[in-house]
Amino acid sequence: MLENDIDRLGDGLLDHEVALLGRAADFVRREIRPQAARWEADRRPPKELFSAAADAGLAGAILPVEAGGAGIGMLAASRLAETLARADFGFTFALKVHANAANAIARRGRPDQQDRFLPDMLAGHRIGAFCLTEPEAGSDATAIACRASAAPGGDWRVDGAKAWVTNGIVAGVMGVYVQTDAAAGWRGIANLIVEGDTAGVRRGPAYDMLGGHAAGLCDVTFQDCLVPADNMLIVPGEGFKAAMAGINMARMFVAAICSGMIAECLDRAVEYGAGRMAFGQPILANQGLQWELAEVATDLEATRRLTEHAARALDAGRPAIAECAHAKKFATRAALRGISTCMQAMGARGLKADEPFARHFAAAKMCAFLDGTTEIQNIVIARSLLRPHGLEAS
Ligand SMILES: Cc1cc2nc3c(=O)[nH]c(=O)nc-3n(C[C@H](O)[C@H](O)[C@H](O)COP(=O)(O)OP(=O)(O)OC[C@H]3O[C@@H](n4cnc5c(N)ncnc54)[C@H](O)[C@@H]3O)c2cc1C
């Protein structure tokens, strides 16, 4: 149970980071657990909850203190993601994308951009989004075609479509990757801050998916959309590298989210199995079932270790590209396998919507795609193996 796990989660963290995890556990108990099944059934993102999360200090904790955040490290942020994800993938991922969007402005933005956007974002009044994927460009982000062309006065005219935008339904501040010079390839990619109420921005309808509906995913299109020159966050030449660095960090968070979902399902399966009787004894008295769940526990332990290894490498200022890829690849597989095993141990009870299994199982499958598919992680890992030998991964 989460309440009994706070000591482990706080291991290696600073006092203010441990205090934040305590507030997160409380937020899970009060706000996420009671509502998560309803968000899924209603297929609606809980926009109103961003302000409450902000009040609890959960919306921008990774931002530097001078930008209004709590300055927590990657290890603490991974434990925060694990804590929240026990109750719901969709809202946890939405909050993570929001925090990352604010963090990009805090770390890369000019002071005037920080003043314009961060106060509202940190209060949870305006929600952030990361717009890279397009209908025709997923794994190969160099192929994005959303165009930004020069408009009078130094402004930018944006035309194109983005797909799979987390928070797209509710976002007020979108970090949009645009191509400024198709002939330059990845070197032409830049990042513009596009405000949600800009003329020419269209969004929706919300995706109807396997799960994760609290993440508010949809397409966002831009038609003849005028964006002020002042909204250039990352200049051409730097945009693609920045997107890849952001995705790398996000992979570590996806692994942490998987840990939270596996832990929640394992705890519940053990609790239920200890009390559920069959053939005159608790079902967990059967060694076959004990060993199945022991396998899940080992995978959970390994997932946590790989996540921590990646988080510590990022905290040490290393790129941690292979570390994050290993963690994400292993975690998503462990989550799919482990949640399915826990669900099996529940019998038919595990199928019901008031249990976490179906939502978390769907989310585990979604995690195998977002921030780079499992196959892309293998390319990244193969690259790290081949590079010392002067070879390229194919
Ligand atoms: C829940 C969710 C949230 C998301 N949120 C966001 C978001 O906020 N912002 C955003 O920009 N995007 C977001 N995405 C999109 C996500 O990043 C893409 O789904 C991902 O990059 C894969 O792209 P694709 O789905 O178009 O697959 P494709 O690129 O079309 O790939 C299809 C299949 O081919 C495989 N494949 C592709 N290339 C190779 C290769 N070279 N070798 C071997 N196999 C290959 C892939 O692994 C995959 O199995 C989200 C996705 C999901 C599911």
Of 271 and 1, the one with more pLDDT? 271
What is the separation of C-alpha 27 from the centre of its chain, rounded to a whole number of angstroms? 18
Which contacts (CB < 8 Å, 24+ apart) does range 62-68 have? 62/99, 62/100, 62/103, 63/99, 63/102, 63/103, 63/106, 63/118, 63/122, 64/106, 64/107, 67/106, 67/107, 67/114, 67/118, 68/106, 68/118, 68/119, 68/122
From the CA of 122, how far away is ligand 1's center (Å)? 29
pLDDT of residue 227: 98
The residue whose C-alpha atom lies closest to atom 31 belonging to ligand 1 is: 139
From the CA of 209, how far away is ligand 1's center (Å)? 15
pLDDT of residue 306: 98
Model pTM?
0.97
Query: What is the rounded average pLDDT of the residues 225-254?
Result: 97
Per-chain mean pLDDT for the chain: 97
Two structure tokens written together for 32: 């996420």
From the CA of 372, how far away is ligand 1's center (Å)? 6
The residue whose C-alpha atom lies closest to atom 13 belonging to ligand 1 is: 164
Two structure tokens written together for 300: 């959970």
Two structure tokens written together for 244: 């890849």
Listed in sequence order, the residues at least 6 apart from 389 whose beta carbon sits closer than 8 Å to its beta carbon are: none
From the CA of 80, how far away is ligand 1's center (Å)? 25
Q: Which of 40, 131, 142, 370 to mutate to test the pocket of ligand 1 (most atoms within 8 A of CB)?
A: 370
pLDDT of residue 44: 87
Residue 254 pLDDT more than 90? yes
Pick from 335, 169, 177: which is nearest to 265 by CA? 335
Query: What is the rounded average pLDDT of the residues 106-121?
Result: 98
Q: How does residue 202 score in pLDDT terms, banded at 50, 70 and 90?
A: very high
Residue 30 pLDDT more than 80? yes
Residue 2 pLDDT more than 80? no
The residue whose C-alpha atom lies closest to atom 37 belonging to ligand 1 is: 139
pLDDT digits (tens, 9 = 90+) for 81-93: 999 999 999 999 9
From the CA of 116, how far away is ligand 1's center (Å)? 32
- Atom of ligand 1 lying closest to residue 97 CA: 8
pLDDT of residue 385: 95
Two structure tokens written together for 99: 């925090």
Query: What is the rounded average pLDDT of the residues 201-229?
Result: 97
pLDDT of residue 4: 72
Residues in contact with ligand 1 (CB, 6 Å cut-off): 97, 130-133, 138-139, 164-166, 212, 215, 217, 366, 369-373, 375-376, 379
Pick from 326, 336, 327: which is nearest to 261 by CA? 336
Query: What is the rounded average pLDDT of the residues 327-344?
Result: 98
Query: What is the rounded average pLDDT of the residues 132-161?
Result: 96
Domains detected in the chain: 2-125 (1.10.540.10), 129-237 (2.40.110.10), 240-389 (1.20.140.10)
From the CA of 144, how far away is ligand 1's center (Å)? 13
Q: Which of 164, 213, 217 to mutate to test the pocket of ligand 1 (most atoms within 8 A of CB)?
A: 164
pLDDT of residue 376: 97
3-state secondary structure string across the chain:
CHHHCHHHHHCCCCHHHHHHHHHHHHHHHHHHCCCHHHHHHHCCCCCCHHHHHHHCCCCCCCCCHHHCCCCCCHHHHHHHHHHHHCCCHHHHHHHHHHHHHHHHHHHHCCHHHHHHHHHHHHCCCCEEEEECCECCECCCHHHCCCEEEECHHHCEEEEEEEEEECCCCCEEEEEEEEECCHHHHHHHEEEEEEECCCCCEEECCCCCCCCCHHHCCEEEEEEEEEECHHHEEECCCCHHHHHHHHHHHHHHHHHHHHHHHHHHHHHHHHHHHHHCEECCEEHHHCHHHHHHHHHHHHHHHHHHHHHHHHHHHHHCCCCCHHHHHHHHHHHHHHHHHHHHHHHHHCHHHHHCCCCCHHHHHHHHHHHCCCCCCHHHHHHHHHHHHHHHHCCCCC
Residue 104 pLDDT more than 90? yes
pLDDT of residue 394: 79
Percentage of the chain exceeding pLDDT 70: 99
The residue whose C-alpha atom lies closest to atom 35 belonging to ligand 1 is: 375
The residue whose C-alpha atom lies closest to atom 48 belonging to ligand 1 is: 373
From the CA of 141, how far away is ligand 1's center (Å)? 9
From the CA of 289, how far away is ligand 1's center (Å)? 35
